[in-house]
Chain A
Amino acid sequence: MASILDIHEICMYFGGVHAVEKLSTYLDEGEILGIIGPNGSGKTTLVNVLTGIYLPQSGEVIYDGKNIIGMKPHEISKLGISRTFQNLRLFNSMTSLQNVITAAFKETQSSMLASMMNIKSYRDEEKRLEEKAREILEFVGLSGKTDEIAQGMAYGEQKRLEFARVIASNARICILDEPAAGLNSVEANDMMKMIQRIRKEKRISIILIDHNMDFIMSTVDRIVVMNYGSKIAEGSPSAIQKNKEVIRVYLG
């Protein structure tokens, strides 16, 4: 399988803090790559670099033959890379349905003029967007909560809504930043099943960051382990579990 994303020697420094140090890895098409490591090891910083929120000091990320370093976040999103946030960044004043419809922003074609005049093609598109949003909400198990304000939803539901938005964005690469954080084992299990289902059904590639070892080991195809900004190991889940360095630093 060809690699869809190539990460070459990313260096992200904040003054004297080397948050990410010469990190290289790759993502194959259709695979689920897990990134694990202690808190502060640079996992989320790496995601921020990949999605254009931070500009690294050096390094490249090749996607579809282009280096996406230096592109703005909305340009990278347009190319087909989406992400969720560790601490949730929902549109709190909107309902869950509106959140998911907004997440399909890339797919919305109607011009401003068309929407102002309320012409048929615009109305049809809005209807299609709403139907698709309802399907996605049903997929993540939130079909009863379509008209609930995002801010007032339970934490587990908010996590699922965050995931629903990534699905709606119709991305080719989804980066999930701690999708199971704060969930109990039943909810985490549901999340794992949803991630595997979406990978199969929509044939997307996923980068998954989490702390929950059971969750990671049973979901991903390959793991990258980070510590203090550097990659200390890479391989299959079983190989990582036996890796002495990883056990010393993390699994211990």
Chain B
Amino acid sequence: MEKLKLAFTKNQKLLTLIFLLCIAVFPLVVHNKLVLRAVVTIMIYCLLTLGNMVITGYCGLLHIGHAAFYGVGAYTSAILSSYYGIPFIYCFLAAGITTAAAGFLISLPCLRVDVDFLSLITLAFAQFFVAVCNNWMSVTRGPLGIKDIPFASLFGYEFNTQIKFYYLIFIVLIIVYYLLSNLMKSKTGRALIAIRDDEISAKTLCVDVNKYKVLAFVIGSLLAGFAGSMMAHYLRFIGPTAFTVDASLLIMQMCILGGLGSLPGAILGAAFFIIMPEIIRPLAIYRVGLGGVIMLLVMLVRPQGILGSRAFAGKGGIFANRFKGHFRKTKLEQS
């Protein structure tokens, strides 16, 4: 195991390049529509898990409402292009900006509370969003959803086939991953990790904790907004059912399994949870609980996930410590 890890880290650049090349030539080799669709879905979900990873994995803020940000981006892009005929590129950017604004607003109440109530705030926003989608008939058409969303297009070139869209999302994902990876290795990433590991210590080392928590939410929701826009112009139909709390929890599961605190983990987790249901389909009715069983095993055997940071490992993990610290504090205040 150690030898494998060593070999991997030594040749990291080469292996990454080979991996990217494989993904790049994949649609030229594999023509199965279902498989291509799965890979495109994985890539869209990667944008979601990367965003959630920044908020929860790097900054330690337990965010279980990410699908709502996904939805804000999707609906923004769909409405602007479907109802107003605005070109895709502006819809894409507007989706990002609107969702980032939503992320900014949600982050503000989260600054005052610790992990347990913070997760409730994010959960509440998720439910609130679904309710708005279902009921604001004049804008979102409620449960009917928005259909006939135009194809994605750039400078007149329409991404109207599976393969064309595949390469579009691939390029977007590569650019996003590259920028995000650099950012997480820099001072910003260090600040987020510092907040996750020890907030008070971070404060005394000149980290403006509130600013960075807000930043984490803004980055995460920006990426979710982009993901929503991409998805809207891929499926060309969106409805409230794609953005439920279940979807948020799925994204969180992807992050946990892939490994909290690791960007490659986000990719791995997304791939796993899209591919797994297809592979276990032969199990028929028994496949329903398997996702849950897998999560149980992860929590028991390797809580930090496959590639995750040891900050989340087991008994000394940060969520455990945060909960313990919180309850100790409230008990003290009561007595």
A interface residues with partner B (beta carbon < 8 Å): 51-53, 72-74, 77-78, 82-83, 85, 89-94, 98, 101-103, 105-106, 108, 110, 112, 115-118, 122, 126, 149, 151, 165, 169
Contacts and interface: CB of A to CB of B under 8 A. Distances in A.
A83 B179 contact: no
Contacts of B203: 52-53, 72-74, 77
Contacts of B309: 93
A117 B185 CA distance: 12
B311 A98 contact: no
B187 A108 contact: yes
B116 interface: no
Nearest to B201: A89
B204 A112 contact: no
B206 A117 contact: no
B289 interface: no
B261 interface: yes
Contacts of B161: none
A165 to B, nearest CB: 7
B2 to A, nearest CB: 14
Nearest to B208: A74
Given A92-B311, A93-B311, A126-B186, 18 more contacts: A51-B204, A73-B200, A74-B203, A74-B206, A74-B207, A74-B209, A77-B205, A89-B198, A89-B200, A90-B197, A90-B201, A91-B198, A92-B310, A93-B196, A102-B205, A105-B205, A112-B186, A112-B188
B179 A101 contact: no
A22 B207 CA distance: 30
B191, B196, B309, B311: which has the most chain A beta carbons within 10 Å?
A: B311
Given A89-B201, A90-B201, A77 B193 contact: no
A115 B183 contact: yes
Given A93-B261, A116-B182, A82 B204 contact: yes
Contacts, number: 97
Interface residues of B, number: 29
A115 B198 contact: no
Given A73-B204, A103-B205, A93 B187 contact: no
B141 interface: no
B282 interface: no
B214 interface: no
A117 B316 CA distance: 35
Contacts of B110: none
A90 to B, nearest CB: 7
Contacts of B91: none
A112 B194 CA distance: 17
Contact of A85 (B179, B186, B201, B316): B201
A247 to B, nearest CB: 34
27 contacts: A52-B203, A53-B200, A72-B203, A72-B208, A74-B207, A77-B204, A77-B206, A82-B204, A90-B198, A91-B198, A91-B202, A92-B198, A92-B311, A93-B196, A93-B311, A94-B193, A101-B190, A102-B194, A102-B205, A105-B191, A105-B205, A105-B206, A110-B186, A110-B187, A115-B185, A116-B182, A116-B186
Contacts of A126: 186
B186 A169 contact: no
Sorted nearest first, the 4 A-B pairs with minimum C-beta distance are A115-B186, A93-B311, A89-B201, A73-B203
A151 B200 contact: no
B310 A165 contact: no
Contacts of A77: 203-206
A85 B208 CA distance: 19
Interface in B287-335: 309-311, 316
A82 B205 CA distance: 7
Contact of B190 (A83, A102, A151): A102
Interface string B150-193: 00000000000000000000000000000100110111101101
B85 to A, nearest CB: 33
Contact of A105 (B190, B196, B261, B316): B190
Contacts of B200: 53, 73, 85, 89
B206 A169 contact: yes
A241 B251 CA distance: 63
Specify which of A74, A108, A122, A151 lies most central, judged by the most chain B CB atoms within 10 Å of its CB: A74
A61 to B, nearest CB: 15
Looking at B194, B206, B207, B208, the one whose CB has the most chain A CB atoms below 10 A away is B206
B205 A98 contact: no
Nearest to A82: B204
Contacts of A85: 200-201
B216 to A, nearest CB: 12
Contacts of B310: 92-93, 149, 151
A94 B192 CA distance: 12
Given A74-B208, A77-B204, A122 B186 contact: yes
Contacts of A73: 200, 203-204
